Amino acid sequence: MRPLILGIGLILILVAATRLPADEAAPGLPKDGTWVRYFGTMRREGTTDETALKRTYSLVGTKTENGQVCRWVEMKDVHQVNHKEEPNIFKFLIPEKDLLENKKPLESLVRAWGKFNDGDVQELKFNSPDGLPGDPHSRFGWHLVIFPGPRQQAETLKESRVVDYQHGRLEIPDARLGRYRAMRRARGANFNFTLSMDSTYWCHSDVPLGVAAWKSRLELRQDDMVRPSTQFEFVLEDFGTNAKSALPDHD
């Protein structure tokens, strides 16, 4: 299985009788078909080269499994490599309650699929000889930090931002600071990897999932040795309600 390089839909805000503050989202996830797309960049510490990508989060289905209502969350990253688009697609079935309330929603992952560039669709397996080392949270949890569950303990920052996107402008007076932490054992080696990521979010209730922009710094430690960090920044590009699964035969 090709290793993951980059891997994260979403809260469509319901208008209530009294308007919510701009950075608060109404409870619940939006209906299936909702999607939100971001333009992103990533840069490895110590270099000046940036990699650009587009990331789309979509809600593409609802299933009841083990007595729980679950949602299919699809994440698509598109990179430009040698002037050619290379998409990576991930599809996760996650209990809706965990997406809303659990700081680590992938701890409750039911199943997942992945498709790398033009390769075949593969079931994503974890902590197994023929799968990915580590659990779902340590492998993919940092891609889902903009969901309500992981964001619920974020701190308020006095840092305003204006976000321009295809259909308007959002003026956001404050930011939120969230933290992601995970650990996994290296396969076939006697050491651990620790992942730490601090993220600053600018939230607005007009945007599905509630997040208009965010920036993150991901640090990877091999026991006590710190590896070069990676910095990410994502800004809203567009959103809508007509999403279809890119992996429709894998449910």
| Residue 20 predicted with pLDDT over 80 | no
* Residue 115: predicted pLDDT: 96
- Alpha carbons 220 and 229: distance in angstroms, whole number: 7
* Residue 27: predicted pLDDT: 57
Best CA proximity match to 62, nearest among 27, 34, 26: 34
Is residue 70 included in any domain, yes or no? Answer: yes
* Residue 202: predicted pLDDT: 97
Is residue 173 included in any domain, yes or no? Answer: yes
Is residue 235 included in any domain, yes or no? Answer: yes
Is residue 135 included in any domain, yes or no? Answer: yes
* Residue 126: predicted pLDDT: 92
Q: What is the pLDDT of residues 131-171, one digit of tens each?
A: 888 899 999 999 998 899 999 889 999 999 999 999 899 99
Range(s) of the domain holding residue 128: 35-239
Is residue 250 included in any domain, yes or no? Answer: no
Q: What is the pLDDT of residues 55-111, one digit of tens each?
A: 999 999 999 999 999 999 999 999 877 778 899 999 999 999 999 999 999 999 999
Is residue 99 included in any domain, yes or no? Answer: yes
* Ranges 18-27, 170-179, 181-190, most confident: 170-179
Is residue 160 included in any domain, yes or no? Answer: yes
- Alpha carbons 151 and 161: distance in angstroms, whole number: 18
Is residue 5 included in any domain, yes or no? Answer: no
Question: How do beta strands 211-222 and 192-203 pair?
Answer: antiparallel
pTM beyond 0.75: yes
* Residue 11: predicted pLDDT: 26
Residues with Cβ within 8 Å of 171's Cβ and at least 6 positions away in sequence, in order, are 160, 162
127 backbone dihedrals φ, ψ, rounded to 5°: 50, 45
User: Which residue has better confidence, 16 or 171?
Assistant: 171
State the average pLDDT over residues 23-32. 70
* Residue 188: predicted pLDDT: 64
How many structural domains compose the chain?
1
Q: Tell me if 96 sits within 8 A of 29, measured CB to CB.
A: yes
DSSP letters of 31-100? -TT-EEEEEEEEEETT----EEEEEEEEEEEEEEETTEEEEEEEEEEEEEETTEEEEEEEEEEEEHHHHH
Q: What is the pLDDT of residues 208-244, one digit of tens each?
A: 989 999 999 999 888 888 888 999 999 999 999 999 9
